[in-house]
Structure 1
Amino acid sequence: MVEQTEDMDKLCETLDKLTLDALLLIQEEIEMKLNIENAMCEGESHLIKSRYILGVNQVSSLQLPTENSEEFSSCFKVNDSETILGRKIFDLYEIKKSDDNNVVEPLWWFGRLSPQYLVFAQKMFRQALQWTVKAANVQNRLHDVLQGISVLKEIKHKMTLKE
């Protein structure tokens, strides 16, 4: 009986720690999403300033590639890898322009001499992309913690039925 009480205490303590971890991960996820939102808003405001400086026709969807455009590769790639526990971890890496790949600098769609606001907008959107990858990793960790809590609750429920 004493051993079962000790096991229950350890189980409850572990549940408490996992619940605290879950709350911290939720807070971290909210902060990441706020950072994403701020970076996107900042990038959009710089795009608006660029459009104002260059004119409506110089910064518009007309400069973006279409289906008939030449093929190109993205400047960034997201890799996913699995841990021992089966959790996916995402990482973002930049692909540098070289002769063997067809990476295109997106700023060049708006002309070779892009205004500084357009460069700032690109930096903010890249920052938002980095925050998004980090937020996905936090979400995966949170999912694992919540699964652990669920399993421990089941064990606790079974232990209370035995008493």
Structure 2
Amino acid sequence: MNEHTENIDNICATLDKLTIDSLILMQEEIELKLIAENAMIGGETHLAKSRYILGQNNVSSIQLPTENSPEFRALTTIDLSIDEFGLHQFSLESKKPDNENYINPIKWFGYLTPQNLSFAQNLYRQALQWIIQAANIQCKLKETCKQINQLKQIKYIINKENK
């Protein structure tokens, strides 16, 4: 019976630690999402200022590439890897532009663009980095919740066997 209570105590201590870890991860994820949201709002504000300066038809979806546009490669992509514990890890992979085919996306809106358009681009880049961090934390949180559920099942089985 003493071994039974020792096992239950160990499981409960681990459950307590994992629960605290999950709360900390939730808090970090919420904070990152709020920071990303603020960056997105700032980017939208700078886009609105650019639309005001250049005119609503000069900063719109009309300038974005379509299926008929020449092909281009994204300089920043999201890379998915799996770490040694089996957790999914997202990261931004940036490539240097080759000068021949590189067109700065801001130039889609004209060659003399307001500085607000560059500010918006930078804020959206920052938001993307924070979103990637939040996604990584979310993966850790899912794994922590999975471990909590597994320990709860083990605890239930041990309690059921010893009754």
Q: TM-score under structure 2 normalisation?
A: 0.94
Gaps spanning 5+ residues in structure 1: where? none
Gaps spanning 5+ residues in structure 2: where? none
| 1:70-89 matched pairs, under 5 angstroms | 70-89=70-89
Q: Secondary structure at the match of 2:85?
A: coil
Whether the 8 Å CA contact 1:29–1:139 is kept in 2: the answer is: yes
Q: Secondary structure at the match of 1:129?
A: helix
Given residue 17 of structure 1, which amino acid in structure 2 is its aligned partner? K
Tell me the alpha carbon deviations over residues 112-157 of structure 1, each in whole angstroms, 9 at most, x when there is no partner: 2321100000011111111111111011000100000000000000
For 1:131 and 1:117, locate their aligned partners in 2 and report how far apart those are by CA, in whole Å: 21
Whether the 8 Å CA contact 1:73–1:104 is kept in 2: the answer is: no
For 1:27 and 1:161, locate their aligned partners in 2 and report how far apart those are by CA, in whole Å: 35
**Which residue of 1 is the match for residue 61 of structure 2?**
61
Given residue 94 of structure 1, which amino acid in structure 2 is its aligned partner? S
For 1:104 and 1:20, locate their aligned partners in 2 and report how far apart those are by CA, in whole Å: 48
Q: TM-score under structure 1 normalisation?
A: 0.94
| 1:61-140 matched pairs, under 5 angstroms | 61-99=61-99, 102-140=101-139
Residue 40 of structure 1, CA deviation: 0.9
Whether the 8 Å CA contact 1:107–1:114 is kept in 2: the answer is: yes
Runs of 4+ in 1 over 3 A off after TM superposition: none
